[in-house]
Amino acid sequence: MLEQYDLNNLMVLDIETVPQYSTYDQVPDHLKLLWDKKTVYNRKEETAEDFYRNAGIWAEFGKIICISVGIFTGGSDMGMRIKSFAGHDEREVLINFSKMLKGQPNTLVLCAHNGKEFDFPYLCRRMLINGLTLPAQLEIAGKKPWEINHLDTMELWKFGDYKSFTSLNLLTAIFNIPTPKDDIDGSVVGDVYWKDNQLERICTYCQKDVIATAQLLRRYRGEELISDDNITIVG
């Protein structure tokens, strides 16, 4: 499976997002009204204020604080290099990430877990909101489906079945991919950022998801996992 892809022309990525404001009280009044209307069917019996902890899920109400990317290196002795773009200034994070992508071939394949429903569209929306042009690798307008070089490890696992979401944690477990136990998960990233002010901790979590996704891709291809000794964090 996926033997047609050259891993040396593939980049794995993951993003971490948080609400744009630390609390609901700080949201401008006109955006509060739009938030209330946007989430009315999602929050069930919760108030709009209580539900605001989930605002990072929506690109209109969240922001990107970390983008981690990984590229495969070497041949038979495959390795990986991981780099993160992170900061409190989302526009600066996106500019630096975009500069990196624009230095890569337009044919570069981007891979993420649930990337087609979350990471890729979220990146595009936040870039446009911040007044940035999209790198060629993220631009999908006017392209035929087979011209879009995006891989999604969750979509690949569906094999055409659209009934359920399969988490990266579950897939790494059933494929016997060792992953370090983390003290955080995606549901608490907003609190770790806004309350604990621990951006570096979030970056580490994001980088581990990139590694896990890359290892899952290797399993899909029937290949050996990359050894920890061959994984390098740069920058």
Q: How far, in Å, are 6, 28, 142, 171, 204 from residue 84 at the CA level?
A: 23, 31, 30, 24, 9
DSSP states along 64-127:
EEEEEEEEEE-SSS-EEEEEEEE-S-HHHHHHHHHHHHHTS-TTPEEEETTTTTTHHHHHHHHH
pLDDT tens-digit profile of 191-227? 999 999 999 999 999 999 999 999 999 999 999 999 9
Look at residue 163 and tell me whether its pLDDT is greater than 80.
Answer: no
pLDDT of residue 14: 97
pLDDT of residue 120: 98
- Determine, yes or no, domain membership for 52: no
Angle at the Cα of 195 (from 91 to 19), degrees rounded to 5? 40
- Determine, yes or no, domain membership for 160: yes
Find how far residue 212's CA is from the centre of its chain. Answer: 12
Number of compact structural domains in the chain: 1
pLDDT of residue 181: 62
Look at residue 165 and tell me whether its pLDDT is greater than 80.
Answer: yes
Q: For residue 127, which of 140, 142, 113 has the smallest C-alpha distance? A: 140
- Determine, yes or no, domain membership for 163: yes
| Residue 88: HSE in the Cβ half-sphere, 13 Å Cα cutoff | 6
Q: β-pairing, 109-112 with 231-234?
A: unpaired
The structure tokens 């050259």 sit at 6
- Determine, yes or no, domain membership for 76: yes
Cα(120)–Cα(152) distance, integer angstroms: 10
Q: How far, in Å, are 84, 108, 169, 216 from residue 111 at the CA level?
A: 15, 10, 17, 11
Cα(195)–Cα(189) distance, integer angstroms: 10
- Determine, yes or no, domain membership for 79: yes
Q: Find the CATH number of the domain harbouring 180.
A: 3.30.420.10
Look at residue 57 and tell me whether its pLDDT is greater than 90.
Answer: yes
Give residue 220's domain range. 7-20+61-234
pLDDT of residue 185: 78
- Determine, yes or no, domain membership for 2: no
Q: Mean pLDDT, to the nearest integer, of 166-174? A: 94
- Determine, yes or no, domain membership for 49: no
Report which DSSP code applies to 133.
P
- Determine, yes or no, domain membership for 215: yes
